Structure 1
């Protein structure tokens, strides 16, 4: 005896919610685009004029954010397209591919700057225009302070307030944005310190490529969490803000539920979590009641956007079924 259901938001409500989230995300990304475009261009021009790799590395951080924003806009537009018979889950993964391309571009450009810094240290034939470097770095520090309240990696800005509400993922996004802000400010202060050293003691121009090494580590470190999340989603792992054991124990705590198996959780992108599970119930349990309560619990407590539940009568043979055993950590 089997009872199953595939539960999603009503189509009209889902479409309205998706369009509303699209507009909110789009506005956030466009605002960040304008801000990063202006500041990144100013730093790139200053770094080129001063022959400073440290400033260029700082600018790369901003311009790769700018590239991320462009990719986010494109992928966000693609992901808003409706489901088709071919793309049955829609185009939500386009956001993840955009973030992946952004991270890869950061690694490539940062690697090129590191190689250039190594060549500068080896041959020593380069000049730094310390006055231009000093002026540019002061401007960068001022801009970072003025905009620190709203600056963050575009990846974290793809989360709307509604999507962040009710679980720890929103807090994680806020923390990630805060770390990004502090990293930007420290990087700009480091460039300013290097500019002061080179301006006062020109013989210590090696401070510029050394700063490039340090900032490259910061830039690559800032992509670690993002790349880990992208890898998890592409491998269809459980969303990082979802606890497998907590979901399973919540289902087992329901009246009439004896066991669960084939529990799978994955994400289409950063905000759309999906679940499928088999729930084994007692002989006298009302399967429709269990189905409705389980669906409500999973949606309200964990925020799954698509839920597929198959209800079946509990059988002692399940204890020896290889497909019904608990998963390893």
Structure 2
């Protein structure tokens, strides 16, 4: 009878532990992602250069802000492409998970640059509201309409990539916000052409700023949760612990940790105590099946012990429900037990 299992060949099963059928894929799919991202990058770079020229000639802050936003779009896509290559490298040296979190660094950089750019554009827009400069309406309108088409094409190309990656999603949000920005700029162009109201240009810029702040905060918050190893969205650790403790023969679950290695790759570790006479292997397999089926967690490390005395426990401690557990590395963490019947 097995009293103690720290299963690195079973508890952290590599046959399913590294399955990426949950939407976070590499290999061929990653190559396809790079092609779609490359297409979007080409569209954005060419149009951005033309927009800067038109914006300077027309004196439009809205066009220049759109061009600046497109520059961050291009930067976001470049970071995404670089991070995808880094994440695909196999683990080596001290990087036992490889460089999978490179994409989270990229996503956080995308969010921060969007917020910084929004501050600068907001200040410029307020100044132009107070002292509106002369703006030529027709170039603004025509360029904005062309920008809408370019961003629709770029957004479509990026939607074909794997958006379960926070990195790709971050770059996609850049492009999507730029699409909304061009719509606001086109409306401003129509107003300036028909009424001569030049303050429509900085007002459109402020609309862009609001969109940028919203998207930037969402990216920083999502990437920050991963850096702080918070539970993935949609998984409540206390509910998960209670669910595991309710499985047959489980008498206690503690030292429970659930986090994301990178976006789309949740991981879990836990110490599970099994009733005397219970089958530790069967309990471990039941837990792994539950994690895969209901929580899509395929990376798990489970330490499974019987709840009574353990002959493998060194002197000075005894594993059990009523005594100190020398295997527990988080003695102040929550403990989950079956509901009283």
Note the C-alpha offset of 1:54: 1.3
Corresponding residue for residue 316 of structure 1: 321
The secondary structure found in structure 2 opposite 1:260 is: strand
Are the aligned partners of 1:152 and 1:178 in contact in 2 as well (CA < 8 Å)?
no
Mark the structure with the bigger radius of gyration: 2
Distance in 2, Cα, partners of 1:74 & 1:108 = 22
Q: TM-score, normalised by structure 1?
A: 0.81
Matched with 1:5 is: 7
TM-score by length of 2: 0.78
Residues of 2 paired with 1:12 and 1:274: CA distance? 9
Structure 2 residue aligned with 1:197: 191
Q: 1:10 to 1:56 in 2, by over 3 A?
A: same
Structure 1 alignment gaps of length 5 or more: 161-172
SS at match of 1:275: strand
- Per the alignment, residue 30 of structure 1 pairs with 38
Q: Work out the CA distance in 1 between the residues paired with 2:231 and 2:37.
A: 27
Q: 2:107 aligns with which of 96, 99, 108?
A: 99
Specify whether residues 249 and 75 from structure 1 end up closer, same or farther in structure 2 by C-alpha distance, changes over 3 A only: same
Instruction: Check if 1:227 corresponds to 2:220.
Output: yes
Answer whether contact 1:99 1:155 (CA < 8 A) is retained: no
Between the aligned partners of 1:246 and 1:19, the Cα distance in structure 2 is 35
In structure 1, distance between residues paired with 2:48 and 2:73: 9
Question: What stretches of structure 2 of length at least 5 have no aligned partner?
Answer: 308-319, 337-341
* Structure-2 separation of matches of 1:112 and 1:135: 25
Q: How far is 1:115 from its partner?
A: 2.2
Residues 10-36 of structure 1 show CA distances to partners (whole Å, capped at 9, x for unaligned) of 499869964244324323422332333
Q: State the 1:146 CA deviation.
A: 5.5
Aligned mates of 2:204, 2:160 — CA distance in 1: 22
C-alpha separation between the residues in 2 aligned to 1:45 and 1:256? 71
